[in-house]
Amino acid sequence: TEACLAEIEAADALGAFVHKTPEIALDQAKAADARIKAGEATAMTGIPLGIKDLFCTMGVASQAASGILDGFKPEYESTVTQNLFGAGAVMLGKLNMDEFAMGSSNETSVYGNAVNPWKVDERALTPGGSSGGSASAVAADLCLAATGTDTGGSIRQPAAFTGITGLKPTYGRVSRWGIIAFASSLDQAGPMTKSVRDSAIMLGAMAGHDPKDSTSANIPELDFEAALTGDIRGKVIGIPREYRLDGMPAEIEKLWDEGKAMLADAGAKLIDITLPHTKYALPAYYVIAPAEASSNLARYDGVRYGHRARLGSGEGITEMYEKTRAEGFGAEVQRRVMVGTYVLSAGFYDAYYNRARKVRALIKRDFDEAFDQGVDAILTPATPSAAFGLGEMAEADPVQMYLNDVFTVTVNLAGLPGMSVPAGLDAKGLPLGLQLIGKPWEEADLLNTAYALE
């Protein structure tokens, strides 16, 4: 813990930690030492973690990297952090992210962007987003692992951009209670770690039934680490043809081929599959996610949490709402709220929101059909490119940024578990990731396949 705290101080330029909690960390570390001495340790006891700013942590600033939650210190602990601390893990501080987890580059944060520790020619690169601070902190060895959340790729894309392992569990595996909501039917928390084994251990500590989240599954808890045998003989790996995009860099294609070869060498059987509705996933996601966000973010009204605008004389409650929200939310969040409100409005509900929900059902059916054919897991690239330069896309059309999520959003729409595993470097020396998509509730199997690919 002390070594990590020193590293964090030395690495301020990465912008990974936005609130540091050294006193809490040292207290928790002391308690962990005592627990280890008493012979009551778990695999997580004494492990120093970074916590994404989206998780409510009791008495510690939890702002979703937004100005609207300025000064908000929750009076309760999220179930995930409660589970981790209950297992003896240590919190080093809160990690940078895109505001309300909306973004793919960590540039929408009120704190400014986090930086990728990987560099090309001294050009500063994005660590990806929205869990950019988590990815940067783990890749730069500021912590042993971090929590992330993934609504449309926010664990897997930053993991791929920084050469670490990121797992988005099956929807319902991990409680959402106390995690600041973005799009409730898609949000899921997961581990961001240095290895597949760490991912298995941390998932075990994070997961579990929680009566406080009505979508949390009441299923037996598994020992995910015990599943890591590396034996994947006879497993069927689907290769979806729709993930071969026109204009995709040859390097990504090559990496995908290498991943296929590794799995085949380990005794898996590769088959070509089709997921025909893939091309509609991005538009469906960018209707559903903003729709749910506009509803979830209605609570930030200047009364209950954080920031409240100053009013001029004669201004009343309407001006208070308007000014508070205009000042507190950044441009991307405002864009999502406006898009979401529009697609849910009476006149356009059927044309956009309802249609997107139908597309979502078709995307889920594509996966069900592949699994019914005997496919155990699906292998795809995690991202259509390696990490890009800071500022490069933020100034472009927002849709350019949304295109980053082309391989990841399908997994959230279908509620499936998905992982990004580091798969090699591109010609410039930047990390690239491969994505494995598993069957619902089959994280143990998914982790074992990832273990064979690692």
Active site residue 185: no
Stretch that binds ligand GLN, among 99-107, 244-252, 268-276, 308-316 (CB under 6 A): 99-107
Regarding 24 and contact with ligand GLN (CB under 6 A), the answer is no
- Catalytically annotated residue among 130, 134, 294, 420: 130
Q: Which is nearer to ligand GLN, 64 or 232 (CB)?
A: 64
- For residue 126, CA distances in Å to 169, 199, 321, 373, 435 come to 24, 23, 33, 39, 19
Q: Which is nearer to ligand GLN, 1 or 104 (CB)?
A: 104
Q: Name residues contacting ligand GLN, limited to 271-290 (CB under 6 A).
A: 289
- Catalytically annotated residue among 105, 154, 175, 199: 154
CA pair distance 412, 360, nearest whole angstrom: 10
Q: Please state the three-class secondary structure of 221-252 as a single string.
A: CCCCHHHCCCCCCCCEEEEEHHHCCCCCCHHH
- For residue 328, CA distances in Å to 4, 70, 82, 185, 302 come to 32, 8, 29, 25, 9
Q: What pairing do the DSSP bridges indicate for beta strands 145-150 and 165-168?
A: unpaired
Per CB under 6 A, the list member of 21, 66, 82, 154 interacting with ligand GLN is: 154
Stretch that binds ligand GLN, among 38-46, 152-160, 310-318, 392-400 (CB under 6 A): 152-160
Give me the least distance between CB of 337 and ligand GLN, in Å please. 13
Q: Which is nearer to ligand GLN, 236 or 289 (CB)?
A: 289
- For residue 45, CA distances in Å to 124, 205, 224, 249, 393 come to 35, 10, 17, 42, 40
Per CB under 6 A, the list member of 48, 88, 153, 166 interacting with ligand GLN is: 153
Q: Which is nearer to ligand GLN, 48 or 129 (CB)?
A: 129
Strand partners, 167: 419
Regarding 182 and contact with ligand GLN (CB under 6 A), the answer is yes
Give me the least distance between CB of 3 and ligand GLN, in Å please. 30
Active site residue 439: no
Active site residue 154: yes
Stretch that binds ligand GLN, among 100-108, 271-279, 377-385, 422-430 (CB under 6 A): 100-108
CB 198 within 8 A of CB 144: yes
CB 258 within 8 A of CB 67: no
Q: Which is nearer to ligand GLN, 150 or 251 (CB)?
A: 150
Per CB under 6 A, the list member of 1, 63, 130, 324 interacting with ligand GLN is: 130
Per CB under 6 A, the list member of 29, 44, 101, 268 interacting with ligand GLN is: 101
Angle at 42 between CA 40 and CA 46, to 5 degrees: 95
Within 10 angstroms of residue 241's Cβ, the number of other Cβ atoms is 12
CB 112 within 8 A of CB 15: yes
Stretch that binds ligand GLN, among 27-35, 101-109, 205-213, 247-255 (CB under 6 A): 101-109
- Catalytically annotated residue among 52, 94, 235, 323: 52
Q: Which is nearer to ligand GLN, 21 or 149 (CB)?
A: 149
Stretch that binds ligand GLN, among 29-37, 102-110, 309-317, 356-364 (CB under 6 A): 102-110
Give me the least distance between CB of 130 and ligand GLN, in Å please. 4
Chain residue at closest Cβ approach to ligand GLN: 154
Q: Which residues contact 350 (CB under 8 A, 6 or more apart)?
A: none
Phi, psi of 284 (to 5 degrees): -65, -45
| Contact track, ligand GLN, 391-410, x by CB under 6 A | --------------x-----
* Cis omega (within 30 of 0) for bond into 214: no
Regarding 190 and contact with ligand GLN (CB under 6 A), the answer is no
Give me the least distance between CB of 31 and ligand GLN, in Å please. 32
Regarding 151 and contact with ligand GLN (CB under 6 A), the answer is yes
Regarding 448 and contact with ligand GLN (CB under 6 A), the answer is no
Q: Which is nearer to ligand GLN, 87 or 101 (CB)?
A: 101
Q: Which residues contact 39 (CB under 8 A, 6 or more apart)?
A: none
Q: Which is nearer to ligand GLN, 151 or 175 (CB)?
A: 151
CA pair distance 335, 293, nearest whole angstrom: 11
Strand partners, 60: 57
Is the torsion defined by CA of 55, 409, 221, 205 positive or negative?
negative
Cα dihedral 197→447→206→292 (10° resolution): 140
3-class secondary structure, 413: helix
Q: How big is the site for ligand GLN, counted in residues (CB under 6 A)?
A: 13
Q: Which residues contact 273 (CB under 8 A, 6 or more apart)?
A: 238, 239, 240, 241, 370, 373, 375, 378
Q: Which residues are catalytically annotated? A: 52, 130, 154
Give the footprint of ligand GLN on this chain (CB under 6 A).
101-104, 130, 150-154, 182, 289, 405
